[in-house]
């Protein structure tokens, strides 16, 4: 794995002008720490397509941090994907996060010409050559829709070998799951950097809901401590900051090639961890 560490922050496009202005202010604050890139999510079936494009172009052009749009193949035709790739290429975007994407409720699996992320990675390579640095998703604790862990590992290897440059994981709270995943894929000949995705803990009920949906395991001792705090937000945040900072220290000490922070469009929770780790840029 690469010895060069990289640090990045993820945003989601907002629905209102006020929310968008807040997002840009948060991005400017985070930009002052010289991250390697930002990323911006893409709604189920491309439902936030225009907002994603506009946010990406503003973060890249105005905030002046290289920004990677998420691109998912579910729900989009090859022509629509080609149009997006051309738009991003012409705008000077150099990095893409290539995902299968989530299906909006009611949408059948047949929607879209590409069904899996490895097909999307191959498509991007055929269409644009080596222009884009392609990120793919990794699931140290298994994708919630995978049949089993072996299938999920095989899916990751397929995506990586289709032409990916690096990977970003779903968030997790157990460093051992990350190290085990990396060890497994390396034994299968995949040596691209796998960057841990980091979710700051700020709100227990939201975190529990997110985690149940995406298959991220909250260790019992963490869950029980968070439950014990009830509505004491200050204690939840202080405990969460300590737990995540200590996990990040262990990840970096164990050779993780960087960190990717899921900001939820907030600066302070990620920056608290950043400062605890004394990440000089």
Which one, of 239, 249, 229, 168, lies nearest residue 201 by Cα?
Answer: 239
Residue 10 appears among annotated catalytic residues = yes
Which one, of 280, 270, 6, lies nearest residue 133 by Cα?
Answer: 6
CB–CB of 166/195 below 8 Å? yes
Domain boundaries, the chain: 6-277
Which pair of tokens denotes residue 46? 């491309």
The predicted pLDDT at position 2 comes to 40
Torsion of Cα atoms, 59 then 65 then 66 then 68, to 10°: -50
The predicted pLDDT at position 280 comes to 72
Q: Which residues pair with residue 260 across a beta bridge? A: 8, 197
Task: Classify strands 37-40 and 258-262 as parallel, antiparallel or unpaired.
Answer: unpaired
The predicted pLDDT at position 170 comes to 96
With a cut of 70, list the residues of the chain below it in pLDDT: 1-3, 44-47, 102-112, 281
Q: Which residues pair with residue 113 across a beta bridge? A: none
pTM of the model: 0.94
The predicted pLDDT at position 100 comes to 87
Set 10, 119, 135, 141: catalytic member: 10
Write the CA distances from 12 to 79, 122, 159, 175, integer angstroms: 24, 25, 24, 25
- Fold designation for 6-277: TIM Barrel (3.20.20)
The predicted pLDDT at position 1 comes to 38
Give the count of alpha carbons within 13 A of 228, CB side only.
8
The predicted pLDDT at position 76 comes to 82
């Amino acid at each position: 794995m690469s010895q060069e560490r990289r640090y990045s922050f993820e945003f989601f496009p907002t629905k209102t002008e006020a929310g968008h202005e807040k997002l840009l202010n948060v991005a400017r604050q985070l930009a002052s720490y010289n991250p390697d890139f930002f990323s911006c999510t893409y709604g189920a079936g491309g439902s936030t397509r225009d907002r994603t494009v506009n946010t990406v172009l503003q973060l890249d052009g105005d905030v002046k941090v290289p920004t990677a749009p998420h691109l998912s193949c579910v729900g989009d035709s090859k022509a629509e994907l080609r149009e997006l790739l051309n738009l991003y290429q012409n705008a000077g975007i150099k990095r893409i996060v290539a995902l299968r994407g989530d299906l909006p409720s009611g949408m059948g699996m047949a929607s879209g010409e590409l069904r899996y992320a490895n097909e999307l990675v191959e498509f991007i390579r055929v269409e644009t050559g080596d222009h884009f640095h392609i990120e793919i998703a990794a699931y140290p604790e298994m994708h919630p829709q995978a049949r089993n862990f072996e299938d999920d590992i095989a899916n990751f290897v397929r995506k990586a070998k289709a032409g990916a440059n690096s990977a970003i994981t779903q968030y997790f709270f157990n460093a051992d799951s990350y190290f085990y995943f990396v060890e497994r894929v390396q034994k299968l000949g995949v040596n691209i950097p796998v960057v841990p995705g980091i979710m700051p803990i700020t709100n227990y009920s939201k975190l529990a809901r997110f985690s149940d949906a995406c298959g991220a395991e909250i260790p019992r001792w963490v869950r029980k401590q968070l439950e014990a705090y009830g509505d004491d937000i200050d204690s939840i945040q202080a405990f969460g900051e300590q737990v995540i900072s200590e996990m990040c220290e262990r990840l970096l000490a164990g050779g993780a090639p960087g960190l990717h922070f899921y900001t939820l469009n907030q600066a302070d929770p990620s920056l608290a961890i950043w400062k605890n780790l004394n990440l000089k840029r």
